[in-house]
Amino acid sequence: MTKITNQSRRKLLINMARSGALLPFVGQMLGQNVYAQTGMAQRVLFLYYPNGVVPYNWQPSQFDGSIGGSQELSFGLGPLANWHDRLIILKNLTLDIGSGAGAHYNDMRGILTGNKDISTGSASIDHLIAEQLGSEGVLSLGVRTGPKSDIMISKPRNVTTTQRPIPNNDPRDVATKLALGIGNVDSPQSDEMRRTYEAILADFDSLANATLDSVRRAKLDMHENALKRLKDQSSVQVGECVFNTNVLADPYANSSQELNQTEWQMFPHLCRAQIDNIVGAFSCGLHRVATLQLSKGDENGNLVNYSFDECWQMAQQAIAQGIQSSQGGDPVSSMTRWYNEFASHSASHRPGDVPHTAQVRWYHSLLAYTLEQLNNKGLLDDTLVVMFSEVGDGSQHGGAAGAVTLAGGAGGALSSGRIIHCGNGSNESQQRIWGTHQLFGDVARLMGVNSLPEPYWTGGVV
């Protein structure tokens, strides 16, 4: 048998690179779907937060076009100042929640389906995308803050709209189950795959000296990055694909009681723990589609008490910037009275209230945390995060003046760092321009899904 030396192998690869024959050769040699497609996102997170926004404290100061500078766009969007080049802010996007909506629970059931009463045989957009990507399905997680968890935004196929499964609200349980999905990371097959990728990558270093045109060199770089990703996955992210099973557990897992004042402080920690679980699942290749539901809009039975320290500090910041409470009188005493009354739900109906303004800013700080974690894992460039709520103008139950933020690189498919003005914030069909039917159709196509079974996900927003 003729022995192929490293030198002869390297010469062969260089000649193949120059001729353009290396690129299909790499794909065939790996024998699997290499994540190296340009113009396509590799994973998507649908991130839901309750109660909508305070329009005039969320709306960016710029009308539309490229985002200029690093100053805060608005009080609500302030935590994202370091991520302007990775954002698309969608102002006044109509939330297509279906006819007959008008209460938070109806709006929520329609936000990812386009209709709160879709048929049993249909599914929400996250499941429609996952169905065509593979068998891993949607990683559906939540953070519940009360004993009721019956209004779900995500709907799998073949379940009734009122019997949608409750997402896993227990970060510790999620981490344990995801860790089991990793499998044996020290198996001989995994080690062999890793050595194979390492040998190929060693040859890529020398190919940089080959005389290639810019197009072929860009494709070569693209495949090198894909090989690195596959090598990491073969060794389960080289020891980094580990889930922390010591995180907080769902406080309502075995209880029907309301949380006490100390337990209210758990909410932000539970939210970040679920974000960590999603990023870990993405990093390990366990899921490509995830949906995170942070509480629910109709919070009378599922209360989020925003008196946890982080949100309180943001409320103080709002007051310092001149944002007043609609209750009148001294804003500090009004805010304190509001918190003491546990009235987070009523704040969603009074968009001038300082606490609601603060909670919107806090949820956007969670988006900033999400982007940071994705970036730390090297996943942000080919991931898409879609952040949305179930109502538009916080003083009304309806889809007008929706506030949606896209974030991430989406595999280079999107031109980020811009604001898109989508309409005038009216529910009148003849006046609206774009809605979530079009946007979520765009999201599907950015994920490589071009044949959605439901025709109304049309696209055209971004």
pLDDT score for 220:
62
* Helices and strands, number each (H, E), in the chain: 15, 8
Segment 65-100, tens digit of pLDDT: 999 888 899 999 999 999 999 999 999 898 888 876
pLDDT score for 54:
73
pLDDT score for 439:
96
CB 80 within 8 A of CB 368: yes
pLDDT score for 380:
94
DSSP-derived secondary structure letter, 34? -
Instruction: Round to whole Å and give the CA distance between 365 and 345.
Output: 20
pLDDT score for 321:
85
- Looking at 144-300, which runs of residues are DSSP E strands? 289-294
pLDDT score for 8:
57
Q: What is the pTM of this model?
A: 0.78
pLDDT score for 357:
83
What CATH architecture is 41-183+244-446?
3-Layer(aba) Sandwich (3.40)
H runs (alpha helix) in 183-247 = 188-207, 214-234
CATH 3.40.720 range(s) for the chain read 41-183+244-446
Instruction: Round to whole Å and give the CA distance between 384 and 380.
Output: 8
Q: What is the mean pLDDT of each run of 10 residues along the chain (462 residues)?
A: 50 52 45 49 94 82 85 94 95 84 77 90 95 88 72 92 88 89 47 58 58 58 57 45 76 64 78 95 91 73 70 86 62 46 43 75 97 94 94 67 92 91 68 85 94 88 92
pLDDT score for 315:
84
